[in-house]
Amino acid sequence: MDTKAFEFLLLRKLVMRLRLAMALCFGLMAAACQQAGDWTEAERMLVGGQPAVMRVLTVDDADDLAVLRTPCQDLSPRALTDPLYLELAGKMLATVTSPEQDGVGIAGPQVGISRRIVAVQRFDKEGEPFEVYPNIRITAQRGERQPGPEGCLSVPGRRGEVLRYRDIDITYTLPETGRDTTERVEGFTAVIFQHEVDHLDGILYIDKLQEEN
- Which residues are catalytically annotated? 196
Across the chain, the runs of DSSP E, i.e. the strands, are 105-107, 117-121, 130-134, 137-141, 146-152, 155-164, 167-173, 180-186
Q: Which residues lie across from 186 on neighbouring strands?
A: 167
Contact footprint for Zn ion (CB under 5 A): 152
CB closer to Zn ion, 152 vs 190:
152
- Compare residues 73 and 110 and give the one whose CB is closer to Zn ion: 110
Work out how close the CB of 196 gets to Zn ion at its nearest, in angstroms, rounded to a whole number. 7
Least CB distance from residue 208 to Zn ion, whole Å?
A: 11
Task: Quote the CA–CA distance of 88 and 9 in Å, as a whole number.
Answer: 56
Residue of this chain nearest to Zn ion (CB atom): 152
**Residue (of 136, 139, 164, 167) closest to 150 by Cα position:** 164
Cβ closest to Zn ion, residue 43 vs residue 196: 196
The burial of 56, by beta-carbon neighbours within 10 Å (0-12 exposed, 13-18 middle, 19 or more buried), is given as buried
β-bridge mates for residue 150, sequence order: 160
Residue 209 CB, shortest distance to Zn ion, in Å, is 13
